[in-house]
């Protein structure tokens, strides 16, 4: 008897709890923490009822693929070039040209009109001059395997977008004529891992710098600045020989959305020059829209020119990345 | 009268059909899907390639070796610690028994991801104990705890909950008059322990040891959080392979674990069959606590008992303390200098931080209720009617135990990522319901295991008496059998509820935007460099512990204190 009362009350609680949850626009994004909170807050203020699901870029990617037949997301926001390219190839997106896209430089527009990039970030090699004298700092990503840097640089979890991107940036330097990574490349990567502090989470990452010997940060630019702020130390970004991988993050509307109008309105709002400029001011992210960049603080405009980009064809790399990561995870790390 | 019986028969058949459907849909179909994933890749039979790739991988080999030796060592250390606890609590006279009991009961409320995060918070590179240690001995590296030692330490002290629950109960069933008799015949203390007490509790010791083995093989949270770079175990490798989009290799590796676990399960059933004895009516003389005569021995036992209590309580105390600290002092101070309620206001204020807590309570409670209903309906049938169908049902219920959770998750995803006719062509993946369904599946083996033991342990005399007085089958079940198994049911439900509140692997795979559960929130917070997130995570941990403690206390009060004793593990 008591059991049935419990079941009945549970059913009632469910029935009342659900309609309230059904309406919000669901957005999958690797943007987490205060950035996610800011986006949610600003979107709400602008009249968009959104619900953010944030997780690591790799995890979100898996989730989107797994949910292919029952898509939960309406909008995908902030995944990097390679992930967006693969998701598009899987047929998960639909075409929509946001109102702000006409001013976007063509290399950030999508030929199929589905994925539009809105900001970019270099994945930088940076160091802490207090711990590592300027003269001794590495000059290139390929310098890291030198004995003097052993134990001084940190490689993050391979599920992180950032880690994946700089590993790819290193491996593309070793592509042979058939487009595969040469043995020399894998030897280099083995050495890179052998000399690295390898961490699985952000906590250990900070800890390696705070109390460990780490003095070289491989990170996306905003992450580098945030880490330096948390550590209360000065950080210097290296202008590397051979260039620095620059990734851009895009937004797309899912093919299976049942809230197309709301999704369009959100994408138009989020990518607009004003929102991008405010975000740049708040978090230092470099927007791609020329108008937004012009409205951004001077520091952000300088960051846009901070490093020389490494020429990388992300679309060509995207299909190979899984195999590379598998080799890294199973044999190298 | 006959109409009610007719209705009961109808309900009975309806229940049978519903359970048959549920087992087929949510247990067998996902398993078949996972097997299919293990054998085929891109539409072709590729198992040999996958095996070759696995065998080539240095890290897979390392994970296999690590899992094997750590499981063996864990089983030994847990048995030592667990038996010592039972001796201190139920056999010897030790001062402060009540306090020790509380300390030793913490693994019941402090497990899974919650405990691993808590240990990292205490002993990890940023932890208070580490800070104190390095202040005293500057030569100690800050990551002294990270690696196999930390994992073994966590296993040793966190996996004693089965000993605490079931070995203690077994100890209470030792007939004191046999001890008295032995002493009367001049037996020494050691002799009494080894020749009188041990044989009685031996079946329970073996069963509990196998449960520990089972837990250690599938351990995920401890190596993930505490293993660091150099120590990883099989379940992490399975997760990694799956995230590399090699579900075939993930499933193969998980199957290997499954075979080992299956062997263990068969062993445990063998021991259960050997050690089965009925209870419920025996008028045993209750065991009396024995003083330790040798003063040196007495001091040593006391010192060890309190040291162990400290090991259990320090992480919990630190977490509770820091949950009242301002976010800025977390990881910065050894002990917080100021206390505040602001963190609690944030979580309990009903905002977004509260949602994860609500989700977990709701889904775990629902899963436990459904699991219990299924178990209480199916187990008596399985116990009474032994035919191929009930045997198959029995084996199906144990599947989730031998199948690593991650494989179950892969199977559920594979079975329900497209319209499935078994559920009316719905696509369950991505919906709210797949995770709570997964929780029910996870809760079944333990429930079936214990409740079956309880049913087997009922002295047939009770039912015979009721039948002789003309009670109908359903009436006998309600009024005679159910009250006898209720204590076990309540206890196992409480345990499972607590497990589910801290369940990570399955949750990570199946949660959706509307049911993001607490363990996910805790891990996000624990691995976040954001101090506010870390603070919220501590509150979650504290709330889970408080909540679980309440559940366990209620369950224990309802079950252990009651006679007849029915936990006949």
pLDDT tens digits for range B30-71: 988 888 877 887 777 778 888 888 999 999 999 999 999 999
> Exposure string (b/e) for B330-361, b if CB count within 10 Å is 16 or more?
bbeeeebeeeeeebeebbeeeeebebbbebbb
Strand partners, B426: B420
Task: Name the residue in chain B with its Cα closest to that of A155.
Answer: B229
Judge if A160 and A237 occupy the same domain. yes
Tokens of A258: 């049942």
Q: What is the mean pLDDT of chain B?
A: 84
Tokens of B414: 């594979």
What's the pLDDT score for residue B4?
65
Q: Are B324 and B339 in contact (CB under 8 A)?
A: yes
B184: Cα within 13 Å, side-chain hemisphere: 6
Q: List all residues of chain A from 83 to 102 with a beta carbon under 8 Å from chain B.
A: none
Give yes or no for residue A13 having a pLDDT over 60.
no
Q: Are A167 and A160 in contact (CB under 8 A)?
A: no
CA distances from A312 to A80, A188, A242, B555 (A): 13, 19, 11, 61
Judge if A96 and A147 occupy the same domain. no
Residues of B in contact with A204 (CB under 8 A): 125, 228
Q: List all residues of chain A from 131 to 170 with a beta carbon under 8 Å from chain B.
A: 159
Comparing CA positions, the residue from B420, B567, B556, B552 lying closest to residue B108 is B552
Q: Are B86 and B174 in contact (CB under 8 A)?
A: no
Gap from B487 CA to chain A (nearest CA, Å): 16
Between A117 and B462, the higher pLDDT residue: A117
Comparing CA positions, the residue from B432, B406, B69 lying closest to residue B250 is B406
Gap from A67 CA to chain B (nearest CA, Å): 6
For β-strands A116-127 and A236-237, DSSP reports them as: antiparallel
Cα(A141)–Cα(A149) distance, rounded to whole angstroms?
11
Task: Name the residue in chain A with its Cα closest to that of B420.
Answer: A69
Comparing CA positions, the residue from A159, A153, A178, A181 lying closest to residue A169 is A181
Q: For residue B459, with 0-12 CB atoms within 10 Å meaning exposed, 13-18 middle and 19 or more buried, which class applies?
A: middle
Strand partners, A77: A251
**Is B125's Cβ below 8 Å from some Cβ in A?**
yes
Domain around A117: 2-121+247-304
**Is B362's Cβ below 8 Å from some Cβ in A?**
yes
Residues of A in contact with B118 (CB under 8 A): none
**Is A8's Cβ below 8 Å from some Cβ in B?**
no
What's the pLDDT score for residue B478?
80
Give yes or no for residue A324 having a pLDDT over 90.
yes
The dihedral built from the CA positions of residue B354, B520, A86 and B30, taken in this order, carries a sign that is: negative
Q: CB–CB of B57 and A322 under 8 A?
A: no
Q: Sorting pLDDT into bands at 50, 70 and 90, what band is B528? A: low
**Is A72's Cβ below 8 Å from some Cβ in B?**
yes
Task: Name the residue in chain B with its Cα closest to that of A324.
Answer: B244
What's the pLDDT score for residue B73?
96
Task: Name the residue in chain A with its Cα closest to that of B240.
Answer: A329
Give the 3-state secondary structure of B39-84.
HEECCEECHHHHHHHHHHCHHHHHHHHHHHHHHHHHHHHHHHHHHH
Q: Which of B57, B242, B419 sits opposite A330 (nearest CB)?
A: B57
Q: List all residues of chain A from 241 to 270 with a beta carbon under 8 Å from chain B.
A: none
Q: Domain total for chain A? A: 2
What's the pLDDT score for residue B69?
95
What is the Cα B69 distance to its own chain's centre? Answer: 21
Contacts of B449 (CB under 8 A, 6+ apart): B398
Gap from A208 CA to chain B (nearest CA, Å): 9
**Is A7's Cβ below 8 Å from some Cβ in B?**
yes
Tokens of B117: 């995060």
The domain ranges of chain B are 1-39+341-569, 60-322
Give yes or no for residue B566 having a pLDDT over 70.
no
Residues of B in contact with A201 (CB under 8 A): 526-527
Judge if A62 and A74 occupy the same domain. yes
Cα(B397)–Cα(B449) distance, rounded to whole angstroms?
9
Contacts of B409 (CB under 8 A, 6+ apart): B438, B505, B506, B508, B509, B510
Q: CB–CB of A227 and B529 under 8 A?
A: yes
Comparing CA positions, the residue from B321, B318, B320 lying closest to residue B310 is B318
What's the pLDDT score for residue B49?
84
Q: Do B60-322 and B1-39+341-569 fall under one CATH topology?
A: yes
Q: CB–CB of B429 and A70 under 8 A?
A: yes
Residue A94 burial (CB count, 10 A): 16
Comparing CA positions, the residue from A6, A23, A313, A330 lying closest to residue A175 is A313
Give the 3-state secondary structure of chain A.
CHHHHHHHHHHHHHHHHCHHHHCCEEEEECCCHHHHHHHHHHHHHCCCCEEEEECCHHHHHHHHHHHHHCCCCCEEEEEEHHHHHHHHHCCCEECCCCHHHHHCCHHHCCCCCCCEEEEEEEEEEEECCCCCCHHHCCCCHHHHHCHHHCCCEEECCCCCHHHHHHHHHHHHHHECCCCCECHHHHHHHHHHHHCCEECCCHHHHHHHHHCCCCCEEEEEHHHHHHHHHHHCCCCEECCCCCCECEEEEEEEEECCCCCHHHHHHHHHHHHCHHHHHHHHHHHCCEECCHHHHHHCCHHHHHHHCCCCECCCCHHHHHHHHHHHHHHHHHHHC
In this structure, of A10-14, A15-19, B266-270, B404-408, the range with the lowest mean pLDDT score is A15-19
The phi, psi pair for B231, rounded to 5°, reads: -130, 115
Judge if A80 and A53 occupy the same domain. yes
Instruction: State percent of chain B over pLDDT 90.
Output: 23
Task: Name the residue in chain A with its Cα closest to that of B127.
Answer: A207
Cα(A243)–Cα(A241) distance, rounded to whole angstroms?
5
Q: CB–CB of A330 and B229 under 8 A?
A: no
Give yes or no for residue B16 having a pLDDT over 70.
yes
The dihedral built from the CA positions of residue B404, B407, B413 and B415, taken in this order, carries a sign that is: negative
pLDDT tens digits for range A52-73: 888 878 788 888 988 888 898 9
CA distances from B119 to A105, A297, B5 (A): 50, 43, 55
Task: Name the residue in chain A with its Cα closest to that of B510.
Answer: A63
Give the 3-state secondary structure of B291-308.
CCCCHHHHHHHHHHHHHH
pLDDT tens digits for range A264-312: 999 999 999 999 999 999 888 899 999 999 999 998 998 888 889 998 8
What's the pLDDT score for residue A295?
92
Give yes or no for residue B565 having a pLDDT over 50.
no
Residue listed under structure tokens 């990883």: B232
Gap from B529 CA to chain A (nearest CA, Å): 5
Comparing CA positions, the residue from A237, A240, A262, A281 lying closest to residue A73 is A262
Tokens of B201: 């509790």
Q: CB–CB of A69 and B419 under 8 A?
A: yes
Q: Are A89 and A174 in contact (CB under 8 A)?
A: no
**Is B366's Cβ below 8 Å from some Cβ in A?**
yes
What's the pLDDT score for residue A238?
94
Gap from B85 CA to chain A (nearest CA, Å): 34
For the ranges A137-141, B9-13, B287-291, B488-492, the maximum mean pLDDT occurs at A137-141
**Is A58's Cβ below 8 Å from some Cβ in B?**
yes
Q: Which of A10, A67, A204 sits opposite B430 (nearest CB)?
A: A67
Q: Are A167 and A189 in contact (CB under 8 A)?
A: yes
Question: Does ipTM surpass 0.85 in this model?
Answer: no
- Cβ contacts from A onto B, under 8 A: 109
Q: What is the mean pLDDT of chain A?
A: 88
Q: Taking residues B535-542, what's their average pLDDT?
A: 83
Instruction: State percent of chain B over pLDDT 70.
Output: 92
The dihedral built from the CA positions of residue B140, B146, B151 and B154, taken in this order, carries a sign that is: positive
Q: Which of A7, A72, A200 sits opposite B369 (nearest CB)?
A: A7
Residue B95 burial (CB count, 10 A): 10
Q: Which of A202, A227, A330 sits opposite B527 (nearest CB)?
A: A202
Q: Are B107 and B502 in contact (CB under 8 A)?
A: no
pLDDT tens digits for range A190-232: 999 999 999 887 777 888 898 778 999 999 998 898 889 888 8
Residues of B in contact with A159 (CB under 8 A): 243
Task: Name the residue in chain B with its Cα closest to that of A231.
Answer: B529
What's the pLDDT score for residue B88?
93
pLDDT tens digits for range A110-153: 888 999 999 998 999 999 999 999 999 999 999 999 999 999 99
**Is A10's Cβ below 8 Å from some Cβ in B?**
yes
What's the pLDDT score for residue B250?
85
Comparing CA positions, the residue from A143, A130, A131, A119 lying closest to residue A238 is A143
**Is A201's Cβ below 8 Å from some Cβ in B?**
yes
Cα(B538)–Cα(B544) distance, rounded to whole angstroms?
10
Judge if A215 and A227 occupy the same domain. yes
> Exposure string (b/e) for A40-67, b if CB count within 10 Å is 16 or more?
bebbeeeebebbbbbbbbbbbbbbbebb
pLDDT tens digits for range B228-278: 888 999 988 988 888 787 878 888 888 888 888 778 777 776 766 665 544
Q: CB–CB of A69 and B240 under 8 A?
A: no
Gap from B427 CA to chain A (nearest CA, Å): 6
Q: Pick from B134, B229, B417 the residue to mutate for testing the A interface (most A CBs within 10 Å).
A: B229
Residues of A in contact with B59 (CB under 8 A): 329-331, 333
Residue listed under structure tokens 């079944």: B444
Cα(B57)–Cα(A99) distance, rounded to whole angstroms?
49
Q: List all residues of chain B from 529 to 548 with a beta carbon under 8 Å from chain A.
A: 529-530, 533
Q: CB–CB of A72 and B516 under 8 A?
A: no
Asked: is B1-39+341-569 a CATH 1.10.8.80 domain? The reply is: no
Q: List all residues of chain B from 156 to 215 with a beta carbon under 8 Å from chain A.
A: none
For β-strands A116-127 and A286-287, DSSP reports them as: antiparallel
Coil vs helix vs strand at B535: helix
**Is B224's Cβ below 8 Å from some Cβ in A?**
yes
Q: CB–CB of B246 and A21 under 8 A?
A: no
**Is B516's Cβ below 8 Å from some Cβ in A?**
yes
What's the pLDDT score for residue A1?
39
Task: Name the residue in chain A with its Cα closest to that of B227.
Answer: A200
Structurally, what CATH architecture does the domain formed by B60-322 represent?
Orthogonal Bundle (1.10)
Q: CB–CB of B530 and A33 under 8 A?
A: yes
**Is B56's Cβ below 8 Å from some Cβ in A?**
yes
Cα(B163)–Cα(B161) distance, rounded to whole angstroms?
5
Give yes or no for residue B567 having a pLDDT over 60.
no
Between A327 and B402, the higher pLDDT residue: A327
What's the pLDDT score for residue B223?
92
Give yes or no for residue B169 having a pLDDT over 70.
yes
Q: List all residues of chain A from 295 to 324 with a beta carbon under 8 Å from chain B.
A: 322
Judge if A215 and A260 occupy the same domain. no
Q: CB–CB of A199 and B229 under 8 A?
A: yes
* Contacts within 8 Å (CB) and 24+ apart, B84-87: B84/B304, B84/B305, B84/B308, B85/B160, B85/B163, B85/B164, B85/B308, B86/B163, B86/B164, B86/B167, B86/B168, B86/B171
Task: Name the residue in chain A with its Cα closest to that of B361.
Answer: A10
| CATH number of the domain residue A111 falls in | 3.40.190.10
Residues of B in contact with A322 (CB under 8 A): 244-245
Between B404 and B89, the higher pLDDT residue: B89
pLDDT tens digits for range B309-322: 999 999 999 989 88
Judge if A99 and A234 occupy the same domain. no
């Amino acid at each position: 008897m008591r059991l049935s009362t419990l079941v009945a009350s549970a059913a009632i609680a469910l029935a009342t709890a659900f309609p309230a949850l059904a309406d919000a626009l669901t957005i999958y994004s690797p943007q987490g923490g205060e950035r996610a909170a800011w986006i949610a807050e600003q979107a709400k203020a602008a009249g968009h009822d959104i619900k953010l699901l944030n997780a690591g870029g790799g995890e979100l990617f898996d989730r989107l693929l797994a949910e292919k037949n029952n898509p939960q997301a309406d909008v995908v926001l902030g995944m990097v070039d390679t992930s967006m390219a693969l998701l598009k190839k899987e047929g998960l997106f639909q075409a929509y040209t946001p109102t702000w896209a006409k001013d976007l430089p063509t290399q950030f527009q999508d030929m199929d009109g589905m994925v539009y990039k809105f900001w970019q970030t270099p994945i930088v090699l940076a160091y802490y001059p207090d711990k590592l004298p300027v003269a001794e700092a590495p000059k290139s990503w390929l310098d890291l395997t030198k004995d003097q840097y052993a134990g001084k640089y940190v490689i993050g979890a391979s599920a992180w977008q950032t880690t994946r991107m700089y590993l790819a940036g290193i491996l593309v330097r070793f592509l042979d004529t058939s487009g595969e990574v040469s043995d020399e490349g894998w030897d280099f990567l083995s050495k890179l891992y052998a000399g690295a502090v390898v961490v699985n989470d952000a906590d250990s990452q900070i800890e390696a710098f705070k109390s460990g010997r780490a003095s070289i940060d491989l990170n996306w630019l905003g992450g580098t600045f945030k880490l330096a702020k948390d550590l209360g130390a000065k950080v210097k970004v290296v202008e590397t020989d051979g260039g620095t991988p620059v990734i851009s993050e895009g937004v797309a509307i899912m093919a299976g959305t049942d809230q197309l109008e709301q999704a369009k309105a959100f994408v138009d709002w989020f990518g607009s020059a004003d929102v991008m400029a405010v975000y740049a001011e708040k978090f230092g992210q470099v927007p791609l829209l020329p108008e937004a960049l012009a409205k951004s603080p001077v520091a952000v405009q300088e960051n846009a020119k901070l490093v020389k980009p490494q020429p990388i064809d992300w679309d060509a790399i995207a299909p190979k990345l899984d195999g590379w990561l598998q080799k890294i995870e199973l044999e190298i790390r | 009268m006959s109409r009610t019986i007719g209705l009961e028969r109808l309900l009975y058949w309806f229940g049978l059909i519903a359970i048959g459907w549920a087992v087929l849909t949510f247990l067998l179909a996902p398993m078949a899907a996972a097997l299919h994933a293990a054998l085929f890749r891109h539409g072709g039979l590729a198992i040999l390639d996958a095996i070759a790739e696995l065998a080539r991988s240095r890290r897979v080999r390392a994970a296999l070796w690590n899992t094997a030796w750590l499981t063996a060592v864990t089983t030994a250390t847990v048995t030592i610690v667990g038996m010592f606890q039972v001796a201190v609590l139920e056999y010897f006279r030790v001062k402060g028994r009540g306090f020790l009991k509380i300390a030793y009961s913490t693994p019941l409320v402090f497990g899974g991801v919650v405990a691993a995060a808590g240990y990292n918070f205490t002993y990890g590179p940023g932890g208070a104990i580490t800070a104190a240690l390095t202040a005293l001995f500057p030569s100690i590296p800050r990551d002294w705890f990270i690696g196999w030692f930390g994992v073994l330490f966590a296993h040793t002290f966190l996996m004693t909950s089965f000993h605490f629950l079931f070995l203690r109960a077994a100890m209470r069933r030792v007939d004191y008059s046999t001890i008295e008799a032995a002493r009367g015949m001049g037996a020494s203390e050691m002799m009494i322990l080894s020749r009188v007490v041990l044989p009685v509790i031996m079946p329970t010791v073996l069963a509990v040891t196998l449960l520990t083995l089972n837990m250690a093989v599938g351990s995920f949270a401890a190596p993930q959080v505490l293993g660091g770079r150099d120590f990883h175990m099989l379940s992490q490798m399975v997760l990694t392979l799956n995230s590399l989009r090699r579900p075939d290799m993930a499933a193969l590796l998980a199957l290997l674990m499954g075979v080992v676990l299956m062997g263990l399960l068969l062993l445990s059933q063998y021991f259960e069959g050997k050690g089965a004895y009925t209870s419920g009516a025996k008028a045993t003389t209750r065991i009396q606590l024995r003083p330790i005569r040798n003063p040196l021995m007495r001091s040593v036992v006391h010192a060890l008992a309190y040291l162990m209590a400290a090991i259990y309580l320090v992480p919990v105390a630190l977490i509770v303390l820091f949950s009242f600290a301002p976010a800025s002092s977390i990881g910065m101070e050894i002990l917080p200098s100021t206390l505040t309620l602001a963190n609690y206001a944030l979580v309990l204020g009903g905002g977004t931080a509260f949602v994860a807590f609500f989700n977990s309570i709701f889904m775990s409670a629902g899963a436990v209720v459904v699991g219990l209903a299924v178990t209480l309906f199916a187990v008596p049938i399985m116990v009474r009617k032994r035919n191929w169908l009930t045997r198959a049902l029995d084996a199906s219920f144990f599947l989730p135990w031998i199948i690593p959770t991650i494989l179950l998750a892969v199977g559920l995803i594979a079975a329900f990522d497209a319209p499935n006719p078994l559920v009316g062509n719905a696509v369950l993946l991505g919906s709210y319901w797949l995770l709570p369904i997964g929780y029910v599946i996870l809760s079944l083996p333990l429930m079936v295991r214990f409740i079956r033991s309880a049913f087997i342990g009922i002295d047939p005399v009770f039912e015979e008496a009721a039948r002789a007085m003309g009670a109908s089958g359903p009436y006998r079940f309600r009024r005679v059998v159910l009250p006898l198994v209720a204590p076990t049911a309540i206890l196992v439900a409480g345990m499972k509820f607590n497990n589910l509140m801290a369940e990570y692997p399955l949750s990570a795979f199946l949660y959706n935007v509307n049911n993001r559960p607490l363990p996910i929130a805790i891990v996000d917070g624990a691995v976040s460099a954001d101090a506010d997130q870390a603070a919220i995570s501590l509150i979650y941990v504290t709330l889970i512990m408080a909540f679980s403690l309440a559940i366990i206390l209620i369950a224990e009060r309802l079950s252990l204190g009651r006679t007849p004793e029915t936990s006949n593990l």
